[in-house]
Structure 1
């Protein structure tokens, strides 16, 4: 009897132990990747018949090879259509998303991320560190909002120093050197250097290089309460800008909305030795017969680089996709090194892929190399909705500085006051 009882007790004990272990096994997460789009457990993630992508106008030529290799590797059909990236994609997503006709993946300029996330149009993605390490730090920062990642970068652009080799032998290393050359070359309708410094997109370079900033970054998030556009460094940057106008080194015609066309005209007519402009202007210069040289911006008088604004185009997973895992996989695939290189070769859009910066395809291309190098110093344009309140007041301040109607400190103080008031009015704190 004792033996039977002992055996029975042992059996109960074993069953109890197994029962205790059972829930622990079931409580283990099957695969966290299923919810966040990362990992390799494809067998447990149902494959959709197809994914839909919205690409930028005239850029589908670069997307096709990436789609073909994705379809071959994963057996998922991918369809795409082209829409204007600057506005059409965002506006169409607002309509098609709630109607159930949204794509799985879209491309957007990074400075729209904050607004579209706030509107519930995009979803956070999570990828392995090895994927993030593919890209430059600043380009990944540009894809983040409120400390979360909402896409992967596909291309970057930022203003650089462009010069006419017939009028300037080489790019100067410092802005002081450029200033001296400009004073020598500016005469009789000819100019040594031109920049749209009354436009905050370009003026940010010297202002930030001197120590100013738009919104302070704290723990990966931008603090809308901390605006640094009238601090000591910002004022020094504005004073640097003012002297180019006050000393007659810039013509009055490049102030205001028509300034860009006026500057392009002077350079393409051979009447300006150098300009601060973006890679988008190069084709027009070459079409005008100008033998151009391209370099990073010369360093500021304080020894710091010109911290230009950087724009980053990215790929994003929409909030409406029924297949976030595979949509994220597609984003990873079309931004990998191989496909980023193909995109550059077909569109000349410069990928922020670290391994490609030294690749001959970019390193041997003077313009691409200059943009890639300048991007290392550049600051992504703030992508929070409050940035919309910055452009107007800063443009007004810079124009009064350029025309001599206000001193830099007073103009910037007024601008910041207006910016803060508009933020409080149009973006109530949650």
Structure 2
């Protein structure tokens, strides 16, 4: 468990005193490793309560994502300075770029002390020792959604201070369907009937593994073993994964007969929904504004239950704040990361930007509960699986797309197609590890 630098120093002084009594020796203390990064390697478990206070003279640089977040970030910076007396400068740095910039700007002292990143981009920076662990892991594990904790952990160690979570859910056109289907069988039945009235009841890109993973996970398939951390174990050709592709094939036969996989793209299906020519769409919160602008009367619901009684385990993504390991003010930086992920701060972020907060205490907040779209996505997020943040994940997309499209277009045996995909992924991983 990460301790404050003051606690580390006190512990070291006590150890020095004992050493002097025992043998008269004396060692020099050092808070930094040879590269200048803060040493946060102490992981002793104990029941001591400790207080974190900002270092004397501390001042922070906060890399905040996106223009729409800057007003919130500046408000947080002012509030933090008012409470702790630590000035915080806000700089706009895209959360996709922050981890890469950290590799060069961290050692040179130019990086933000606290920065935002998506969970699938942070793994390399963590493995390179560029990020400090979360100072209060037990507190965050108790107060945040499991999916957000898993997503912002690396090798079972929590590094992030989660700020938002997103996944996909079922959009439905209320002018065509009164209520959302509860089960996938019901969705297929209704969509099949609507094919006689509109262009399509439902379309889904068969090879888009990001969206179809919900079926794989719901039937017991998985990408990597040990909660997506063991890349030497792949579960994408097991019995559950075969059942997932059987469902995708059923969607082809019942809802989209004769339509080639390459003819179903994201743009095609969103366009159909925007024109009122499709009743159902599986999509994320990023699609809301487009459908609103198109004047569609739509609702959003959790993904329909599978025929095994399980909820689809959609991929989820998490945005979080992280503390730069090279910060000269680790206590102040950790306090700021904690401050901006408090209930009050995350509720303000939701009000300002619309990011769904993963704090459990906010799930029943009146402001959030009054938004049925937010409720639907948060309910689905409770069934979601964080998209793996390991470096091997990019090797999965292509082979899985090829396998499912092969089944969709050519009726290739499902087990054979998935076996080939897994073999391709395994070989690519071995090559990358060499």
TM-score when normalising by structure 1: 0.86
Contact 1:389 1:423 survives alignment (8 Å): yes
Quote the offset at 1:255 in angstroms.
3.5
Structure-2 residue corresponding to 1:171: 180
Deviates more, 1:375-384 or 1:401-410: 401-410
1:10-56 residue CA offsets vs partner (Å, 9 max, x unmatched):
xxxxxxxxx999959xx9xxxx9x9759965356x523441111111
| 1:314 paired residue number | 320
Mapped to 1, the partners of 2:216 and 2:153 lie a distance apart of 24
Query: Bigger shift: 345-354 or 106-115?
Result: 106-115
Matched, 1:349 2:358: no
- Give the paired residue count: 399
After TM superposition, where is structure 1 displaced by more than 4 Å over at least 4 residues in a row? 19-24, 34-40
Judging changes above 3 Å, is the alpha-carbon distance between structure 1 residues 412 and 226 closer, same or farther for their aligned structure 2 residues? Answer: same
Is contact 2:100–2:125 with CA below 8 Å preserved after alignment?
no
Relative to structure 1, the CA distance from residue 71 to residue 251 in structure 2 (aligned partners, 3 Å threshold; closer, same or farther) is: farther
Q: Select the residue among 227, 233, 245 that pairs with 1:226.
A: 233
Give the corresponding residue for 2:5.
none
Q: Are the aligned partners of 1:298 and 1:306 in contact in 2 as well (CA < 8 Å)? A: yes
Distance 2:433 2:288 in 1: 38
The offset of 1:254, in angstroms, is: 6.5
Match of 1:117 among 123, 126, 146: 126
Q: Write the distance in 1 (CA, Å) between the matches of 2:59 and 2:353.
A: 26
Q: Which has the larger displacement, 89-98 or 63-72?
A: 89-98
**1:90 counterpart = 2:99:** yes
* 1:6-405 pair list within 5 angstroms: 41-42=51-52, 46-58=55-67, 59-86=69-96, 88-127=97-136, 129-187=138-196, 190-217=199-226, 222-249=229-256, 252=259, 255=262, 259-404=265-410
| 8 A Cα contact 2:109 2:327, kept in partner | no
Q: Is the 8 A contact 2:192 2:255 kept in 1?
A: no
Shift of 1:128: 5.4
Deviation at 1:251, TM superposition (A): 7.5
CA distance 1:315–1:21, shift in 2 (3 Å)? closer
Please give the alpha-carbon distance, in whole angstroms, between the structure 2 residues aligned to 1:100 and 1:306: 44
Question: Distance in 2 between the 1:376 and 1:245 partners?
Answer: 28
Specify which of 407, 424, 428 is matched with residue 430 of structure 2. Answer: 424
Q: What is the rounded CA distance, in whole Å, between the counterparts of 2:262 and 2:284 in structure 1? A: 18
RMSD of the alignment, in Å?
2.6
- The offset of 1:327, in angstroms, is 1.1
Q: Tell me the TM-score normalised to structure 2 length.
A: 0.86
Q: What displacement does 1:170 show?
A: 0.6
Distance verdict in 2 for CA 1:89–1:130, change over 3 Å: closer
Q: 1:285 is paired with a residue of what secondary structure?
A: helix
Structure 1 distance, partners of 2:354, 2:21, is 55
